Structures are given as C-alpha cells and as structure tokens.
Amino acid sequence: MHSIMQIANGIGILNAERMKQNGIASIEKLASFTVEELIKIDGIGVNNAKMFIEIAKRHLKSIRTRERIQNIIKKNKFPTVSNKEKEACDLMLFGSNRHKVSLDSIKKLASSNVEDISRQKGIETSNAKRYIDIANKYLESMRMNEDKIEILPLEQKQKIKVPIELAKAPKLNKVSISTKLNSMEYPQKPAAIIKSPERERTYQKMQDSDSKSPKRASYGIDIKTGKKERTASSSSILKTFFPLETMQKIRFLHYKIKNLEEALWKNREFSFSELNYVLDYIKILNINYKTQSQIKILKELDISKTFYDPLDKREISIWDLIFECSRVLWISAQVYSFLSRKYEEEGLLENSIVAMVECSKMYKTAAYFSAACTRQEDRGFTLSVENLELNSEESRILAQSLATTSEENKRNYSIAATLSAGLSALTKRLVYVQRNDKIKENQFKAQYQYDIGRACHLKAKSLLSSEEYNEEKIEQLQKKAIYYYHKAENIWEQMLAGELSPVEKDCVKNNLSVVNEYIIENDVELIDDIEALEIQDPEPLIIVPENLAPFIPRTTNFLTKYKQTDLNFDAYLRYKNLMSDVLVNFDKVEELKNSKAGIGRTIKQLKILYENNDIDINSFSELFEKYSIKLETIESALQNLKVPENKKGHGKLKPPLIESTVR
C-alpha cells in the first residue's frame, strides 16, 4: 500500500489530510473510490473528485510499470560479478529506477524480440522497442573501442604498452536518452586483424573529436555526465505558467507594492504615481486559472505567500492568486484613505473627495476578488467579503460628507441640503447591516437622524436668503430639523449611559455638543411624530454611485457556469414564504408611512381649497372620497405588515368611513 501523502503535491495537502481523516489513507483506496463517494467529503467538488481519482490511477500505473522493469532487470542479472567480468553500466531510460546491470543482461535484452517482451512481461510495445534500441546502441558504443584491438599472441600482448592518449580517453559510461533516433546498422566485430586505411582515418577523426570535447556532436550528450547538452536555441526544460519576462515584471511590481505598503505603515512620503503599480499588477494576474495549481505558480513567481491580518492579528497563507489581487487592492484602498485625510487637513476638499471615492472603488473591487477565490479557504476577517463591502460603503459616506461640508463652506445651502439628505440615505443603509455590533448600530441610527435634520436646517437657511421668502415653510423646516436633532440627542445620551471605551465616549460627547448648538440656533417648538410626517424632507442627492469597480475578476465566468438541475428553486420558494410569514418588511412599512403622510398632506390642501372657495363641492367630494379610500387601504396594509397573523385576511378591506365635511 502506498500512502496518499505521496501525491499530496498533486491534490493539495489539506485535501490529503481530509481524505486521511475519512479513511482514505492509501493511493489504492483513492483509486477504487467513485466520484459519488468522494464528493461526500466536505470541501471536495465533482470536478476535484474526478481529478483526484485520475491522479491516483495514473500514479499507480506508473508504479506498476517501474516494478515490471525492475523485475525484468532482476531476472536477467547474475548474483555475483567479478572484477574481470564486463563492467556495469547505467541504463538511464528504464523509468525513474536506474539499476546497475551486467553486460550479459544487456546482450540478452538486445537480442530479445519486441513481441515476446511485450507479451510475457506486460510492457507496452513502444517501451519494449525503446529498451531494445538502448541496449543495441550501448553494445555498439562498446564495439567502437574493440574494433581497434588486434588479435595477438599472449607474449606480445604482455609487451604492449597502452599510449597515454588512449589511457586518458574518456570512458563511454552513458548512452543517449533521445527516443526519436532512428535505428542504425552497425558493423560486426572483426574476427582477425583488419588494417583499413579509411577505417583508421575514420577512427582517428572520431578520436580527435573526442579528445577535443567530451560531448557528442551528433546526439548532444555529455559522455562524462550522460546529460543532454542545453543549446541556446533549445527551450528551457522547466516549463512555467507565465513567460520569463512576465514573471520578472510581476516580481518588480510586487517589490514596488511592498515598498508602498511599508511607506504607508511607517508614515513615509510616497508619490501618487506609485498607485499605478497596483493596477498593472492586477491586470497581469487577473486571468482565469481554472484548474491550474496556483500554489505551484506562486512558487514559480517567488513572491510573498503570507499576509498579516491586522484585525485577526495572525498570519494567513496565500493559496490563490485572485486572493493576492484582493490583498493588493486592499492596500491601494488604505493608501487612498490616507491621501484623503492628508488633503482634508491641508484644506484641499476637492482632492480629498476624489481620493475617498477612489478608496471606495478599491474596497468594492477587493470585495469582488475576495468573493471570486476558488482555492483560498482561509480569508481572515480583513479581506472577507462582508468587511470589504462595509468599508466601501463607509468610504462612500465619508466622500458624501466631505462634499456636503465643501458646499456648506461655499454657502451653497440648497445643494448642501440635498447632499446631506443623500448622506442620511447612505447612513440608513448601514443601520440594518451592523446588527451584530450594537454600538455601531446605535451610532448609525443617531447619525442618520442628525444628517436628515441637518438637511432640513440647511434647506431653511437657503430659503432665508432666497428671493421668494416663505416664513411658514421656513418655520416648518426648522421644526422638522429640531424633531430629528432631538431624536439623535436621545440616542447619544442612551449610549453615554452604557459601556463605552474612552475614545467612543469622547466622540459621543463631541456629537452632543454640536447637536445642542444647532438646537439652540433653531429656537422653535418641538413637534410630534404625526406633525413631522406632514412636513416633507429635502430631496436626497448621492454623488458617489454604488458600483464603481474598475474591473472584475476573470474567474467570475468560470464560477457562474452551473447546471440548472443544481438549483433547487422549490426549496428557495419554501424558504422565502416561511421568512415572509415571520419577518416584517421594514422597507415596505417605511414606504407605506411615506405614502400615508403624502396623502394626508393632499387631503389637508383639499380642505384649504374648499374653505377658500377655490374648488366646487362636487370635485371636492369626489377627490376627498378617492384619497380617503387610499388612506384606509394604506392603514390596513400597515396593520397586516405589523401583525403577520392577520395576513390571511389581507385582501379583505374594511369599508371606508368617510366623515362628510359638507356644510
């Protein structure tokens, strides 16, 4: 039995450990498994299961082939070989096992038949023919030295002195490993003394060429080492995923980004153009790797394979190049955030807004790349999709806040009011996201109330300086602003009563001091919820769109090619119906409340028109009845949304009770 860890590089160390925990400890057992049985293990899909089983089968096949070759060599090898017998040689092409065999075994292999070897020993015909050719070529190389030796009596042989040149001639210990050479016919060994001038000249030429260089010109083999000569025109033996020039560029850009990251943490100066290195780096690595071993590609690139998570405070191994792209984009977002704060301190608000918008874009793109990882199991918290999305939204809010402050400083109160209303809408989105962190949830709730109150306050300021001075509308907006300011103040006071860190307490106290100043500035009476709903808020304006990612990961197409049979729509519908019976649709309630307030304002205006005799009684009665029915419908819908048990009678509406106002 062979351990499954022998193929860990092919299937991944984590996958091998998972299989061992599930009882698959050997390659033989993995090869005997089916895809249906293997996908029951957590973390292994259908495609990976097929690939793992195929790797195991190929590995077992190669092991069996090597064992057959070893058995052939062992059967043809004599138990002992004396020093006077033929020297042993190294057969390099007999698989990965290179066994020493005697010359007699090579002769037997050279004289064997291809059909006999392939039939009796179970070796493929192509491999059998190749082994016989190797044996023949080795024997012929031995004959080249034997052709020069003359047959002489024993006494004369003892007097022969071997020349120094021949004694120093290199021995032919290795043979060519090329499998594409054609078979050649070699001359037979002479039975007597042969003195051929042409053959002597030929042999002398060969000897001269060998004495000049230990390499064969015909086959490109080094006689001393037995290795194939690498020529300048031949391609590199090591095949890499990226070309050499691209790999060098990737390493250069990675080094530059490392310097940028170090400069950011150490508060050193850096140029704005260095951020272009990030985009160039992403453009090269952002390709669809599909089933390629990305760990192997990372080793070839020789770049950093770990990432320190500042929130989790631990090292995270990088196994996916798409995750590496997400990490680099996160660094770019940090740099843009730093630049935005720097420009804000210098009073360059326009540059600060642009930098913060770029920060939001980088966070959003990093979230896309983090979600598209196929091999990264441990993402940590900093580079998790949820955290990156929240960072992107918070960056949008900061950019909107900077834009509001910029317009307010320019005394463009009307535009500043719409921007503040848009800021409130952006903050309101995060109220429903930060459900786990109670402090952040309360902070966003108070900030939402403050921003919409500030919008009403700025709108009232813009009307004060306008040509069409409307004192009643200004007073209504001031009352609405005070209404929102008091709500924010109550939330912040409740937060102070709870447990907060010293930094959070200072922040809340600062917010309370600011909102108290605005309450004193707007010296009007406080209104209740019903009166507040009758006063319309300023229209929101959001300057930063939601999706500004400059590019998306190319693995997205590969990830979204699912079969329709894999999607269980019935289960999804059952889950959706269940949740609709339990949860309250907060967005729908808010929408209905706004509609109810709008219809209430319309009915109030109708009464004013009727009292001023600006509308006849028939038109008034018709319109009043129409809007009263709508008001009753909305109230019934609100009641059904607040009490889920009454959903069965959702379609049954009470008859409208219209109170006649005709005098």
Q: Write the pLDDT tens digit of every residue in 595-630.
A: 888 888 888 888 888 888 888 888 888 888 888 998
CATH 3.40.50.720 fits 243-410, yes or no: no
Q: For residue 231, what pLDDT is reported?
A: 46
Which CA distances in Å does 351 have to 332, 346, 407? 16, 10, 14
pLDDT at 145 over 60: no
Residue 541's pLDDT band (cuts 50, 70, 90): confident
- Out of 229-238, 300-309, 499-508, 519-528, least confident range: 229-238
**Position 220 pLDDT exceeds 80:** no
User: Which residue is associated with the tokens 């293990």?
Assistant: 41
Mean model confidence pLDDT for the chain: 73
Sequence-distant (≥ 6) Cβ neighbours of residue 527 within 8 angstroms:
479, 480, 482, 483, 535
Instruction: Kindly state the average pLDDT of the residues 277-293.
Output: 86
Q: What is the pLDDT of residue 90?
A: 45
- Per-residue pLDDT, 143: 63
In angstroms, what CA-CA distances link 17 with 25, 45, 67, 104, 357?
Answer: 9, 16, 28, 47, 44
List alpha helices for 534-616, DSSP H. 556-559, 569-582, 586-611
Task: Pick the closest to residue 451 from 435, 430, 467 (CA basis).
Answer: 430
Check residues 449 and 111 and name the one with the higher pLDDT.
Answer: 449
* pLDDT-derived band at 329, boundaries 50, 70, 90: very high
Of residues 109 and 489, more confidence is placed in: 489
Three-state DSSP string of 58-122: HHHHHHHHHHHHHHHHHHCCCCCCCCCCCCCEECCCCCCCCCEECHHHHHHHHCCCHHHHHHHCC
User: What percent of the chain stands above pLDDT 70?
Assistant: 68
Structure-model confidence comparison of residues 453 and 522, the more confident one: 453
Query: What span, in angstroms and rounded, lies between the C-alpha atoms of 472 and 315?
Result: 62
Q: Taking residues 517-543, what's their average pLDDT?
A: 84
Geometric angle at alpha carbon 548, from 543 and 551, rounded to 5°: 165
CA dihedral 382, 387, 391, 394 (to 10 degrees): -140
Look at the domain 1-75 and name its fold.
DNA polymerase; domain 1 (1.10.150)
Amino acid at residue number 176: S
User: How do residues 225-273 score in pLDDT, each as one tens digit?
Assistant: 554 455 444 444 457 888 888 888 899 999 999 988 888 888 888 877 7
- 8 Å CB contact between 225 and 174: yes
What is d(CA 180, CA 116) in angstroms, rounded to the nearest whole number?
23
Position 133 pLDDT exceeds 90: no
Confidence at residue 214, expressed as pLDDT on a 0 to 100 scale: 41
Question: 97: how many CB neighbours lie within 10 A of its CB?
Answer: 11
Collapsing DSSP to helix, strand or coil, 41 comes out as coil
Q: What is the pLDDT of residue 539?
A: 86
Lowest mean pLDDT among 45-54, 153-162, 265-274, 459-468: 153-162
pLDDT of residue 333: 92
Choice among 334-343, 356-365, 373-382 with the minimum mean pLDDT: 373-382
Q: What is the mean pLDDT of residues 626-638?
A: 88
CA neighbours within 13 Å on the CB side: how many for 563? 3
Given a cut of 90, is residue 331 above it in pLDDT? Answer: yes
pLDDT higher than threshold 70 for residue 173: no
**Residue 300, pLDDT above cutoff 50:** yes
> 306: part of which helix (H) or strand (E)?
strand 306-309
The alpha carbon of 261 is separated from its chain's Cα centroid by a whole number of angstroms, namely: 20
Residue labelled with tokens 């001023």: 612
Residue 645 CA to residue 547 CA, distance in Å, equals 39
3-state SS assignment for residue 417? helix
Tell me: pLDDT of 578 over 80: no
pTM flag (> 0.85) = no
Residue 83 has pLDDT above 50, yes or no: no
Structural tokens at position 384:
């998790």
Cβ proximity of 273 and 343 under 8 Å:
no
pLDDT greater than 70 at residue 159: no
Higher pLDDT, 632 or 183: 632
Burial bucket for residue 358 (CB in 10 Å: 0-12, 13-18, 19+): buried
pLDDT of res. 330? 93
Residue 328 clears pLDDT 90, i.e. is over it: yes
For the chain, the structural domain boundaries read 1-75, 91-230, 243-410, 562-649
The string of pLDDT tens digits covering residues 41-57 is: 877 877 888 888 888 88
Question: Can you tell me the mean pLDDT for 444-466?
Answer: 87
CA 444 → CA 390, 439, 447, distances in Å? 13, 9, 5
Euclidean distance between CA atoms 271 and 377, whole angstroms: 35
DSSP letters, 172-231, are -------S-PPP---PPPPSS----HHHHHHHHHHHHHHHH-SB-TTT-BBTTT-PBPPP
Write the single-letter amino acid at 500: L
Q: Is it the case that residue 215 has pLDDT exceeding 60?
A: no
CA distance to 152, 420, 444, 445, per residue, from 426 (Å): 106, 10, 10, 11
Residue 27 pLDDT greater than 70, yes or no: yes
Give the list of residues 6+ apart from residue 603 with CB closer than 8 angstroms, or none: 624, 627, 628, 631
Q: Which residues pair with 221 in a beta bridge?
A: 228
Range with the poorest average pLDDT among 103-107, 274-278, 423-427, 528-532: 103-107
For 554, list phi and psi in degrees, rounded to 5. -75, -10
Asked whether the beta carbons of 304 and 321 are under 8 A apart, the reply is no
The CB density around residue 180, as the number of other CB atoms within 10 Å, is: 4
Q: What's the pLDDT at 497?
A: 85
Between 320 and 649, the more confident residue is 320
The 10 Å CB-count burial string (b at 16+, else e) for 359-388 is: bbbbbbbbbbbbbbbbbbeebbebbbbebb
479: tokens are 């009352």
Radius of gyration of the chain (CA): 42
